[in-house]
Chain A
Amino acid sequence: MRAISQVFASLMLIAITLAVMALYVVNLSAYAGAKKGLIYEVFSYRRKQLLERLSLIYVFTNSTHVNLVVYNYGDVDIVVKTILLDNDNIPRENYTIINVYGEDLGDVISTSNRLAIISIKTGMSLTKGVHVVTLITESNNAFTFTFGV
């Protein structure tokens, strides 16, 4: 009786372990495949921040606007969330992002439209000297550029 119960216990142990492991492996592969979850999010968020790359190509101004020519040389699309000019927040209606053909890009400087012109309506000429513009992206990257007028 004792020997039978030990064999039975071993078989039960193996069966239950295999069942639980199979369930776990299925869930684990679904987790890895979905690319969701805390561990994935922590690393992928930081990776996306690193892959966002933006450079200032050129700046030209007129009496009412500052035009920044920027280039996305990273591997991911850049979504511009906020623009600060000399630490002042520029309202969304006061700037546009277009490509070199004049087409509106919305808020996205994509990898298929890397060269973009950000036209900021200042309403008046910028004072002579050095100015600072900061672009904050959806991934909370801040790209700060200085330029002279």
Chain B
Amino acid sequence: MLTKKFVLIAIIITFFVPKMSMFAQDAGALLDLLVRKKLITDQEAEEVRAELTKEAATTSGGKWKLSSPITEIELYGDARLRYQYNGGQTGDNSPLARSANGIAGKDDWQERERERYRLRLGLRGTLVDDWFFGIRFETNTNPRSTNVTFGDDSGVNGPFSKDSDRINVGQAYLGYKGFRDVTLTAGRMPNPLVTTPMVWDPDINPEGLAEQWKHTYNFEFGGGSTTASAESYSKEGGKGFVAPAPSEPFKLKLDLFVNFTQFIYDDANPENPLGPRARNSAGAGAATHQTGQLIPNTDAFLLAWQAGARLTFPKNIFLQIAPTIYNYTGNGDTFNIHYQGGSPFVTNAVSLAQNQTGINSLLVFDMPWEIGWKVGELPMHVFGDFSVNLEGDDRATAAGHPGFGDERYAYQVGLGVGQLKQKHDWQIDVAYQHSEQYALDPNLVDDDIFDGRQNMHGIIVRAGYALSDAVIFNVTWNYGWRINDNLGTGGTPIAIGINPLDQYQFFVADLNIKF
């Protein structure tokens, strides 16, 4: 018996040493079978099991130790190579200054081309007692970008400098799922809200608290036999009756969800300063009559309330809507100067110097939506978003344009075909986006669309092809035009130093690797 045991171990180890750590876990079924077949005894099986476990513990895989509270852990990430083109043009009626070196004239193009990469590496997992956590490291310090440009820091330490190639904490959060249907998250987290790039750049990881509730209801209607039995004939039995197959019930799935967030938008530091509180210096906020005003000493919060539903019909048809209210409380000490957004009636430099980031008078109602279906095996969807700033009048007045309160709407509508899930899949999305000057928070919108500017509308096209399950090639192109010629195109310039942008073009080709 002892000899048989060691022969068994030797056979197992010989064939499975390279995958010992995995096999030790899978050996149970084989050993149980051998016991059932009475080829070995239970005791022999336990001794073999113990030997295999001991062998596995000495392999490199078996030496991994996770702390005991961890019940599940996942290492994930992605890397991307990108070619990027940005181009923007001034209008034929602005700016005021004559063109010179570095000075924008009329119908003047500025263009940039860059070769870039990004890296995101994350760890997420679950702990005992329904807790979970996640961390992710990302390149680039910009909240709306993880891209690093090759050769952009050669001036710092010579070619191939690493000055811009730094790793930052993109996500660091923990959460609790112990209440039925409820998820609580705190920290720097992936955006928990259902949204579109028109409102939120997908690279932004907001900071604060989130409470999510989601419940699924399943409905069935009809079903069972509703027609009379049919006659049938057989050689043996003569006349008989065939019962009809019962009809399938109509199945509907309803997912209801609610997301509440309390994001810390800007931390005022200090809340209680030494001496008297500071005031806006001369020049700061001059155009919006805020020079000399006390700088706020309370934090700014972005509160969101979202309640939505996804209805899934048979045959892969679905509809989803997620109405949301975004409310900003407080100004913080960074975004307290009122938003202006630029002007076509001044020089480009003066227009750019106007405030592009203020979050005053923003109370935004937003409703992203999507309808999906399949034509044969081909997934298709129409999608869109609609937003209105309910305090658009106040925002326009504070910007010095009291008659432009109606410039408060943003919307997007698009059509997509295909879906990128596995090798050889493809997808094309085409959308039209319209975003008015006082509609949205310019600090959050996707900076890949129209350089992240307001008062722009245009076309967005995205196409992707999966070279393998983990490698996707994407191209994105968008072309935008200014909406209202009497206003600037508000928002911090990302790539093109022109305000107002009269025309804008963007193109990227990406090779993405997911792991």
Q: Do A and B bind each other?
A: no
